[in-house]
Structure 1
């Protein structure tokens, strides 16, 4: 079956945070679009995500109240040793740099499934297609067509690949680049992989047993293993219906693990000890959980108690990889989010970067949805120029943060001691000011007013097309 859209249409492949935000922006901007997701339904997987520098975007699209209801504001990060002795803290509140007072917003921390659900609830069901795994793409000077595993095809003006680290859209685009001799050598190299990870979100938790969950702010508790090259993370979350929950993550430094186990039984069948395992099974996740289940938990009890409170179908094992791709677009195809800049989760930037890239692309498409190949290429180049620098910076930053969190021995301890205890607040504020200096808005929706004491004065400007439409509406009234 072939479906052809009348007029210019944006085909969005992937219903993650980036794809759903782009769809919501297209909906708000009256940009024709369709979303295609390979899963049969939205999958409630993942752990907590910290949403940095984008609260004003949620306010613009009208979901801030719901985001706040399902989140806690980030208050700080506490790094503990295996015996739960605090090694240092980064504060996003007093005595550090108070985020809300300084920048007008705090960073919401919420369960990834909750954000996915909130975004998807704003997308008309007829525009969100499930069980559509893309197996092939074809593009020419006039249109781009996707072919799905169920033998359906869809055509549009441009194709946006927001389908994650193993993006089928990127793979098809790279095949075309390689056939034309246009492939960047570094893009053909595999993703950089050093860590295995298990994530989950608990069900409702008893605040009498876990009193730390009563705190208003989300204070990350990160335990660094001493006998194991691993970390285990705990992030208090809020659900207005279910009550307090906990997002958690276990990471294992495979390089250090393999060195530690060098010379051990080479026939060890424990897949969790074999470097960058690609085993996503429930057994593989359990094997990693078993390594730390008897460790003391900073929220109370032992770590295994947190696992027991987590629905088994929501515990997921993944391989943490990172890579910045040089090629973000070709022909009528463009990439967004993990498809073009996969980063480690340690810096908390993956979802925020995807959302801000969706804003940048939607702003460009709103002004004049490109139709000719020349217009499409110009639009994609503008998008790349705006977002690629941030993408490279975030990938590099997440890798450095992973090193900071996992490096063991004297050097690692000294780096953390200096980074978390000896850097003065004024220097930290310089860094956070620089990070918040430029906060772009959605150009076709009413702008927000930044309320904090820090006013950089740097944002983008409203769309002239949108301003004209508002003036016309005002005159008509």
Structure 2
């Protein structure tokens, strides 16, 4: 590592949820940083987002969780339907006592704003900065990042947090002499999503109540948001050739497009008609996107460059873990950077050691989550090998006891990374029951304890 001054110590490419979380961590830890974002302004995008216990702990450390609680809606109950037949009601009110935090749903743009503020806002986030090259030459004093407008930045470390079609990842491949190809694969499904105004006719008894609805030819999930707003996600298979499978987002999506698929279908919150059209017509915005997932997992680090979130391990959004995994990545990468910079003599060796640990921990966790999300998607849409999809879906959603759900979620929600160098934070006490699945156990080699512990000090 050179002693020559650089523009910053950490340069983050991408002001998405993971990039801004890492920026907020750097800000709190007094590590100089800059965020480069290609868009000209942060305008409302997407619909809603689900934040689970595995992401909420570090958000609590960063002071963002209080804003999530104030403006989001905790999930209390999920009603499960097959067409008009209600299979069951799943009670999730015990999540907080089990894992220390519940699941919250919130408007994605609002949550993005909270992270933007925590990351220092315009003082540290440079909008309209489209990265065109990343140069990390052996022996050079710093990594050089070039922007389309001609600006050049230098940094000790560069982090690619630039999403499913990561420019950082592509440039690294090209610089290494590898063929630059997309390793994400279209799953044959499309998500149609929206965020609504408060739904007429819903009262206090509907707050925190969501719906999973399975139809013969599609599925729809509505998550409860503040003031009985609804965030909905519809999933259906896309006939080949209907939309370009290489495009992530369907531009120009309208309410009528979503209504063409779901408008006449049943929804218990759909007013007198009990149809989805009553939900969709109250949308403030709608979006449709093809669903992709990662097929080839790169190393999470290369030289002085690290990847996080979808840039390294894009996954289907059926269990709402894409953003949560980016936040987990940012937390563990924050710990790696703190370990490096807190060394008496930060060097290439201390960075290599910190990056190796980050890559090992997050690489395995990312692969596990992509696999889990893919299998869960197959159950959710009742498409599994040998025609087992429908019966597997009934077992999971109609007959499986709620304690089995909580037990199965141990490995997902029980892993709650936190920044170890923030000693002023008091974590809630939770009790974690051990799981037996070897493939999805802790990313640490220590045995899982059934003792009551502070999750995060020793990740279960």
Say whether residues 1:303 and 2:276 are aligned partners: yes
Say whether residues 1:416 and 2:400 are aligned partners: no
Say whether residues 1:210 and 2:210 are aligned partners: no
> Is the contact made by 2:77 and 2:210 (CA closer than 8 Å) also made in structure 1?
yes
Q: Counting helix residues as a fraction of each chain, which structure ranks higher? A: 1
Residue 162 of structure 1 corresponds to which residue in structure 2? 161
**Greater Cα shift, 43-52 or 8-17:** 43-52
**Greater Cα shift, 194-203 or 395-404:** 194-203
Q: What is the Cα deviation at residue 220 of structure 1?
A: 2.5
Partner of 1:390, secondary structure, is: helix
Say whether residues 1:245 and 2:229 are aligned partners: yes
Q: What is the Cα deviation at residue 459 of structure 1?
A: 4.5
Q: What is the Cα deviation at residue 13 of structure 1?
A: 0.9
> Is the contact made by 1:196 and 1:252 (CA closer than 8 Å) also made in structure 2?
yes
Residue 359 of structure 1 corresponds to which residue in structure 2? 331
Residue 420 of structure 2 corresponds to which residue in structure 1? 443
Superposed counterparts of 1:44-443, under 5 Å: 44-53=44-53, 54-82=55-83, 84-93=84-93, 98-124=94-120, 125-140=122-137, 141=139, 142-177=141-176, 179=177, 189-206=183-200, 209-211=201-203, 214-217=205-208, 219-226=209-216, 228=217, 230-238=218-226, 243-254=227-238, 257=239, 271-272=242-243, 280-283=250-253, 286-301=256-271, 302-311=275-284, 314-323=285-294, 325-369=297-341, 372-407=347-382, 411-443=388-420
Partner of 1:271, secondary structure, is: coil
> Is the contact made by 1:338 and 1:350 (CA closer than 8 Å) also made in structure 2?
yes
Q: What is the Cα deviation at residue 45 of structure 1?
A: 1.6
> Is the contact made by 1:439 and 1:458 (CA closer than 8 Å) also made in structure 2?
no
> Is the contact made by 2:299 and 2:359 (CA closer than 8 Å) also made in structure 1?
no
Q: How many residues align?
A: 423
CA separation of 1:283 and 1:459: change in aligned 2, threshold 3 A: closer
Alpha-carbon distance between aligned partners in 2 of 1:29 and 1:296, rounded to the nearest angstrom: 50
Q: What is the Cα deviation at residue 102 of structure 1?
A: 2.3
TM-score scaled by length of structure 1: 0.81
CA separation of 1:408 and 1:88: change in aligned 2, threshold 3 A: farther
Say whether residues 1:24 and 2:14 are aligned partners: no
| Residues 28-70 of structure 1, C-alpha deviations (whole Å, 9 max, x = no match) | 0001100111111113222322212232222211222211011
| Residues 179-212 of structure 1, C-alpha deviations (whole Å, 9 max, x = no match) | 1x6x8x9x86443432111222113333xx234x
> Is the contact made by 1:45 and 1:315 (CA closer than 8 Å) also made in structure 2?
no
> Is the contact made by 1:210 and 1:300 (CA closer than 8 Å) also made in structure 2?
no
Partner of 1:9, secondary structure, is: strand
Q: What is the Cα deviation at residue 397 of structure 1?
A: 1.1
> Is the contact made by 1:161 and 1:334 (CA closer than 8 Å) also made in structure 2?
yes
Partner of 2:409, secondary structure, is: helix
Alpha-carbon distance between aligned partners in 1 of 2:113 and 2:269, rounded to the nearest angstrom: 27
CA separation of 1:210 and 1:426: change in aligned 2, threshold 3 A: closer
Q: What is the Cα deviation at residue 80 of structure 1?
A: 1.8
Partner of 2:283, secondary structure, is: coil
Q: What is the Cα deviation at residue 12 of structure 1?
A: 0.5
Greater relative contact order (Cα < 8 A, sep 6+): 1
Residue 443 of structure 2 corresponds to which residue in structure 1? none
| Residues 106-146 of structure 1, C-alpha deviations (whole Å, 9 max, x = no match) | 12221211210111122332211101111221112321122
Alpha-carbon distance between aligned partners in 2 of 1:384 and 1:77, rounded to the nearest angstrom: 36
Partner of 2:135, secondary structure, is: strand
Alpha-carbon distance between aligned partners in 2 of 1:285 and 1:341, rounded to the nearest angstrom: 31
Alpha-carbon distance between aligned partners in 2 of 1:21 and 1:132, rounded to the nearest angstrom: 19
Q: What is the Cα deviation at residue 436 of structure 1?
A: 4.4
Q: What is the Cα deviation at residue 425 of structure 1?
A: 4.2
Unaligned runs of 5+ in 2: 433-450
Unaligned runs of 5+ in 1: 259-269, 463-477
Residue 43 of structure 1 corresponds to which residue in structure 2? 43
TM-score scaled by length of structure 2: 0.84
> Is the contact made by 2:337 and 2:351 (CA closer than 8 Å) also made in structure 1?
no
> Is the contact made by 1:79 and 1:221 (CA closer than 8 Å) also made in structure 2?
yes
Q: What is the Cα deviation at residue 373 of structure 1?
A: 3.7
CA separation of 1:86 and 1:408: change in aligned 2, threshold 3 A: farther
